[in-house]
Chain A
Amino acid sequence: MNGAQAVVAALEREGVETIFGYPGGAIMPLYDALYEHPVRHILTRHEAAAAFAASGYARTSGRVGVCCATSGPGATNLVTGLLDAMMDSVPVVAITGQVRSELMGTDGFQEADVCAITQAVTKRNVLVTSADAIGPAIAEAFALARSGRPGPVLVDIPNDVLKAAVTDLASPAATPLARKAGPRVSVDAVRDAVARIRSARRPVAIIGGGVRAGAVDLYRLFTALLGLPHTATINALGAAAPGDPSYLGMLGMHGLKAANKAVQRADLLIALGMRFDDRVTGKPDRFARDASVIHADIDATEFGKIVSADVTLHGDLGATLQALVDELARGHVPRFDDWAAEARSLGGPLPSDHVEDSVLSATDVLDRFFAALPPEAIVTTDVGQHQMWAAQRARPTHPRRFATSAGLGAMGFGFPAAIGAQFAHPGTPVFTVVGDGGFQMCLPELATLRRYDVPVKIVLIDNHNLGMVRQWQELFFSQRYSATNLADNPDFVAIARAYGIDAYRLESPADADHLIGRFIAASGPALLHCACHPTENVWPMIPAGMSVDELMEARR
């Protein structure tokens, strides 16, 4: 067995069935080991897409996503995807080829110090210097990617190490990480939290991406037990039970009015597995000024980072919620139904721009699309206006059925992430909602759809603009539309068809329901091109660095 075969054996030990990648010189021994091997390699058309596909796979399945690339440019093309995984706590393992050991430091062909480059975008990285070290390194990478707050880990392996013989064939010992127990939430802190819940009059729960760590059922139990009004960050959409009347919708810059106003009026925030991102809080010192804060997270460095907490619950979110429920059950269980009804009344219908009847409105298209989706559907989005419109309107039935680049906001994410999601869930309908800007960052992945006959369906909201930047230019930069006009977009339908993908052209509102229905029912990959109004904006909006008091519902 050589080093490359040891990589594949280590992946098999981790239960890996699918990896996403792109070959090149330094990593050729690994591709040779993959030839006719049961571990399935999916060839994307760019390494960035491989990283995003691994992320989509991981986000929607809970399993570790794996991507691989060659040295130099191959490895550096993974960087954005790794940072995206870091920001959104997604377990991804990247394996990169490196130039031969003797060439390292010579500015050799396709040489890059990828460990230095990725130090800030991974939980950890390792340069493997001997074939015997490959098995333990990969075992540790998977353990670290999964453990605590999940995230990306990179394993860099020089070409000569991939080719060298493995002399120690023993299974890698359990790593220190695998043996390390996670933090256990403090009993005293749980009692303090429950005492504050019992004495609160207007508590609101905020659920974040931490709910994906197997805490969905307990979160639903916790909120239902109390009749608690609750809201979600974009990474936790789907955490609320379908139809839960106490759920107020998404929170934040483009969140729903009821959610933002309820948080602002709360006397107690119960922040669960969320990190008070600036897109959620706006100006932190004006965020929920009257509320005391209970903050639960697996990552203690989140406590006090943006918002000070009165009670911190450090531990696994599922265990924390179980402890809260158990402690509540030992005494009085308050109900907050009246406050939940009041909180709901703070909202109203989603505001949207008036678009003339003959022109396609993106919000109208997405309203119709999400109303027609089957409940088991998985939706990914790209980044921009369509992302926010989708997040406002989507009603995923589980947080693993909605995936978006939330923290990093990486354009070009949505489409390859949907490919990854489809490989994780072969029998499930998978859709991606993209804009004309981000879609053009990953157009060649249409070839990936065709090659593997992946039945991902693409909803392209084409407004001939980099819409979100255009919106900010309109509102905050005196309508100086610098570099946001995409009036010269190509014919996306023709492009899709050139790749052998079915494509539908939606231009008139009168055709919307019919075409959306045909598109959703299509058996294979398909594109729905929606030629939308160019200047429709996302509402409501809390301008960056402002508070709910400055919430905008229309152009001023």
Chain B
Amino acid sequence: MTCELTLRDVRSVARIVNLAHRFNCRTTHIAAAVGDAATTARFAFDGPPVALTRLRAQIDRILEYDV
């Protein structure tokens, strides 16, 4: 699973990596560019489909609160 995210709070990058680890997913790629107002981050994860679905839902929740 890959996702490209725009995050207001750069700390969310670490939060997402922690969540992936918690759900038994492997973070295979991270690239982030930190700007003045937002961070653009690209992730790639491997893992069981159910875990990836759960991870995606949690990422969506982080994005919802990252306003």
Q: Which residue of A lies closest to B66 (CB)?
A: A124
A301 CB–B CB distance under 8 Å: yes
Distance, CA A300 to CA B62, complexed state (A): 12
Q: Which residues of B contact A148 (CB under 8 A)?
A: 64
Contact A301 B60, beta carbon cutoff 8 Å: yes
Q: Tell me the smallest distance from the CB of A482 to a CB of chain B, in Å.
A: 28
Which residues of B are found within 8 Å of A176, using beta-carbon distances? 67
Chain A residues whose CB sits within 8 angstroms of the CB of B24 once the complex forms:
none
Contact, CB under 8 Å: A119 / B11 = yes
B57 and A305 contact, CB distance less than 8 A: yes
B20-58 interface (Cβ within 8 A of A): 53-54, 57-58
Contacts of A180 in B (CB 8 A): 67
- CB of A72, distance to nearest CB on chain B (Å): 20
Is A521 among interface residues, defined by CB-CB distance under 8 A?
no
Cβ contact within 8 Å between B65 and A144? yes
User: In the complex, which residue of chain B has the Cβ closest to the Cβ of A179?
Assistant: B67
* A133 interfacial contact with B, CB 8 Å: no
Residues of A within 8 A of B18 (CB): 120
Min C-beta distance of B1 to chain A, whole Å: 15
Closest B residue to A176 using CB positions:
B67
Query: Which of B9, B11, B54 lies in contact with A305, CB distance below 8 A?
Result: B54
Nearest opposing residue in chain A for B12, CB measure: A119
What B residues does A304 contact at CB under 8 A?
Answer: 53, 57
Q: CB distance B67 to A177 under 8 Å?
A: yes
- List CB contacts (< 8 Å) of A391-434 with chain B: none
Q: How far is the CA of A302 from the CA of B47 in the complex (A)?
A: 21
Q: Does A299 contact B (CB under 8 A)?
A: yes
Point out the residues of chain A lying under 8 angstroms from B65, CB to CB.
123-124, 144
CB distance from B64 to the nearest CB of A (A): 7
Docked complex: A108-148 residues within 8 A CB-CB of B: 115, 119-120, 123-124, 144, 148
**Which residues of A sit under 8 angstroms from B61, Cβ to Cβ?**
299, 301
Distance, CA A300 to CA B58, complexed state (A): 10
B58 A119 Cβ-Cβ under 8 A: no
Q: How distant is A213 from chain B, measured CB to nearest CB, in Å?
A: 16
User: Which partner residue on chain B sits nearest A125 by CB separation?
Assistant: B11
* Set of chain A residues within 8 Å of B9, measured between Cβ atoms: 124
Residue of A115, A144, A301, A305 with most partner-chain B CB within 10 A:
A301
With both chains docked as a complex, state the minimum distance between the C-beta of B22 and any C-beta of chain A, in angstroms: 9
Inter-chain contacts of A144 with B (CB < 8 A):
65, 67
- Least CB distance from A443 to B in Å reads 35
Q: Residues of A contacting B53 with CB < 8 Å?
A: 304
Q: Which of B15, B54, B60, B67 contacts A119 (CB 8 A)?
A: B15
Known contacts A148-B64, A177-B67; decide if A120 and B15 are in contact (CB<8 Å): yes
Smallest distance from the beta carbon of B16 to chain A beta carbons, Å? 11
Query: B60's contact among A115, A120, A123, A300, by CB below 8 Å, is which?
Result: A300
B9, B61, B64: which has the most chain A beta carbons within 10 Å?
B64
Whole-angstrom CA separation of A124 from B9 in the bound complex: 10
- In angstroms, how far is the closest chain A Cβ from the Cβ of B45? 17
Chain A residue with the shortest CB-CB distance to B11 = A119
A400 to chain B, nearest CB (A): 24
Cα distance A176–B9 when bound, in Å?
14
Min CB distance, B7 to chain A, in Å? 12
A300 proximity list for chain B (CB < 8 A) = 60, 64
CA distance A480 to B32 in the complex (A): 53
Known contacts A123-B65, A124-B65, A180-B67, A301 near B15 by CB under 8 Å = no
Choose one: A115, A123, A177, A301; the contact of B58 (CB below 8 Å). A301
**A402 to B55 CA separation, bound complex (whole angstroms):** 33
Closest B residue to A153 using CB positions: B65
| Chain B nearest Cβ from A135, distance in angstroms | 18
Cα A119 to Cα B54 with chains together (Å):
18
Contacts of B67 in A (CB 8 A): 144, 176-177, 180
Of residues 255 through 300 on chain A, the ones whose CB sits less than 8 Å from some CB of chain B are: 299-300
Complex CA–CA separation, A148 to B66 (angstroms):
13
Q: How far is the CA of A301 from the CA of B65 in the complex (A)?
A: 12
* CB-CB nearest 3 A-B residue pairs: A301-B57, A123-B65, A301-B61
Q: List 28 A-B contacts (CB under 8 A).
A: A115-B11, A119-B11, A119-B15, A120-B15, A120-B18, A123-B65, A124-B9, A124-B65, A124-B66, A144-B65, A144-B67, A148-B64, A176-B67, A177-B67, A180-B67, A299-B61, A299-B64, A300-B60, A300-B64, A301-B57, A301-B58, A301-B60, A301-B61, A301-B64, A304-B53, A304-B57, A305-B54, A305-B57
Q: Which residues of B contact A (CB under 8 A)?
A: 9, 11, 15, 18, 53-54, 57-58, 60-61, 64-67
